[in-house]
Amino acid sequence: MKILLVGEYNRSHRFLKEGLLKLGHKATVVGLNDGFKKVDVDIEISQKFRLGILKKIRTVAIKLLNVDLHFLQVKKQLLKNKKQLSGYDVVQFINEASFLCSPEDEKKIFDLLSRWNSKVFLLSCGTDYPSLKFAMDKKFRYSILTPYFEGRVNPLDFSLGLKYLKPGFVKLHHHIYNNIVGVISSDLDYYIPLKGHKKHLGMIPHVINVDSITYMVPVIQDKIIIFHGINRTNYYKKGNDIFEAALDLIRSKHENRITIIQVENLPYKEYITAFDTAHILLDQVYAYDQGYNALEAMAKGKAVFTGAEQEWLDYYQLEEDTIAINALPDAKQIASKLEWLIENPEKIIEISKNARHFVETHHNHITNAKLFLEKWD
């Protein structure tokens, strides 16, 4: 089978491709390289009109001529690579807006790639209309919109994804759902909003090439090392402000027993090695399940503070604080859990082993690639 994987978030399609290749199929990843993360794709679509001085020129062209130079460049590159992007048995888009264009232009790109190929599917693994609508309706106990509801984030902050609730993107959502065979969710934050939808084919947990990630047995000698990676664009959305408040609390009480490493906006290849020496990793607050950064850290054997809500425990039939630590939007609660690990370092080693085993069991790139093949068939 030939599969075209359109768009990239945190190597999700890259890892899926690696699983498909192992199973004897052909797969190609085309798309942007996920911003500053600089994720590798097979056919990279340049986005120079979203950067530097050309971004300003793009803005002027949109205002004066109603022409988006970024979209024109994307379309030109796709047409140039038409031969390489045609004739696939399956096309899977990573998002309802995979190329960061206007909804009208995203529709044109979706229709273009759909015409060139056979069955079309959608992956729900990042902010989209169903997940944002669910969050906006406050059906989650807390969500990435919680900082917005609390007045800590400007509604114009694009990281919130509120654009997906605007009429143009709602129309795009319905167009895509009317023309895909089905949508596959990748974790509980996307599975829950889609549960019961007629096009929802179910959940396949995020695909991780665990073989490419070396497990590191925690060596705890003098101090517990805590790693906090900040994506400044998503600072409030990820709950980095809450993590920083929790670190202040724990620093004042256990300064002589901990070392804190904090970095910002690292490209993927740098980020994935920056926390190698850490025992504990602070990932994100406003989630019920784990995303890629958390899972890759868990595969390396870190005790990760991330989404690990009761729904996740129930789904996988797990006990609390055995695989990952649920990071609630409460600095005191996070500080309390950090203190528990600092005072019981043997728990870090226990969680480390369990976390690696969990990722190997539920996120294996070959096993989960088989699940995709089943749903595509």
pLDDT in tens, 166-175: 999 999 999 9
Mean pLDDT, range 277-302, rounded to an integer: 96
Q: CA-to-CA distance for 248 and 242, rounded, in angstroms?
A: 10
Q: CA-to-CA distance for 230 and 227, rounded, in angstroms?
A: 10
Domain that holds residue 60: 2-209+364-376
Mean pLDDT, range 183-188, rounded to an integer: 98
CB-neighbour burial class of residue 255 (10 A; exposed 0-12, middle 13-18, buried 19+): exposed
Q: Which of 55-59, 81-85, 336-340 has the weakest average pLDDT? A: 55-59
Q: What percent of the chain has pLDDT over 90?
A: 87
Q: Are residues 197 and 270 in the same domain?
A: no
| pTM listed for this prediction | 0.93
Q: CA-to-CA distance for 113 and 117, rounded, in angstroms?
A: 7
Cβ of 78: how many Cβ atoms within 10 Å?
21
Q: CA-to-CA distance for 239 and 230, rounded, in angstroms?
A: 10
Is pLDDT of 368 > 60? yes
Q: What pLDDT, in 10s, does the model give residues 106-134? A: 999 999 999 999 999 999 999 999 999 99
DSSP state of 245: H
Is pLDDT of 367 > 70? yes
Q: Are residues 178 and 249 in the same domain?
A: no
Mean pLDDT, range 29-52, rounded to an integer: 80
Two tokens at 142?
Answer: 């807390």
Q: Are residues 29 and 86 in the same domain?
A: yes
Please give the tally of structural domains in the chain.
2
Q: Are residues 141 and 220 in the same domain?
A: no
Q: CA-to-CA distance for 99 and 298, rounded, in angstroms?
A: 30
Q: Are residues 76 and 22 in the same domain?
A: yes
Q: What percent of the chain has pLDDT over 70?
A: 98
Is pLDDT of 34 > 60? no
- Spatial neighbors of 110 by CB under 8 A, at least 6 apart, are 93, 172, 175, 176, 179
Q: What pLDDT, in 10s, does the model give residues 227-281? A: 999 988 889 999 999 999 999 999 999 999 999 999 988 887 788 788 999 999 9
Rg of the Cα trace of the chain?
21
Q: Are residues 91 and 104 in the same domain?
A: yes
Q: Are residues 175 and 241 in the same domain?
A: no
Q: Are residues 173 and 267 in the same domain?
A: no
Is pLDDT of 301 > 60? yes
At 159 the pLDDT is: 76
Cβ pair 355, 281 in contact under 8 A? no
At 231 the pLDDT is: 84
In whole numbers, what is the pLDDT of the chain averaged over residues? 94
Mean pLDDT, range 67-82, rounded to an integer: 96
At 76 the pLDDT is: 96
Q: Are residues 171 and 290 in the same domain?
A: no
Dump the DSSP string for 101-123: --HHHHHHHHHHHHHTSSEEEEE
Task: Give helix 331-343 / helix 240-254 axis angle, nearest 10°.
Answer: 50
Is pLDDT of 38 > 60? no
Looking up residue 8, the CATH number of its domain turns out to be 3.40.50.2000
Given pLDDT bands bounded at 50, 70 and 90, which one contains residue 5? very high
Q: CA-to-CA distance for 2 and 25, rounded, in angstroms?
A: 6
Q: Are residues 217 and 154 in the same domain?
A: no
Residue from 308, 321, 296, 325 nearest 215 by CA: 296
At 372 the pLDDT is: 98
Q: CA-to-CA distance for 342 and 340, rounded, in angstroms?
A: 6
Q: CA-to-CA distance for 195 and 228, rounded, in angstroms?
A: 33
Is pLDDT of 35 > 70? no
Q: Are residues 195 and 259 in the same domain?
A: no
Q: Are residues 204 and 246 in the same domain?
A: no
